[in-house]
Amino acid sequence: MAREPLYRKAEAEMTRRIRKGIWQPGRRLPNEFVLAEEFGVSQGTMRRALMTLESQGLLDRKPGRGTVVATPRAGAATDRQAATGFDRLEVVEPPQVFRDKGHTRTANETEAALFGPGDVHVITRTLRCAGARFALEEIILPAALAPDIPEGLPAGFVQVLAEYGLHPARMDDRITADLTSMGDAVALSVDRYTPLLCLERVARDTGGRALGRQRLRIAGDAAYGVTLTG
Residue range 52-63, pLDDT digits in tens: 788 778 888 876
Per-domain boundaries in the chain: 6-69, 89-224
**3-23 CB burial, b ≥16 within 10 A, e <16:** ebbbbbbbbbbbbbbbbeeeb
Residue range 90-145, pLDDT digits in tens: 777 778 899 999 999 999 999 999 999 999 999 999 999 878 899 999 999 999 99
Pick the CATH number of 89-224 from 3.30.1600.10, 3.40.50.300, 3.40.50.880, 3.40.1410.10: 3.40.1410.10
Q: Which amino acid is present at 140?
A: I
The model carries a pTM of 0.66
What integer pLDDT is reported at residue 80 of this predicted model? 38
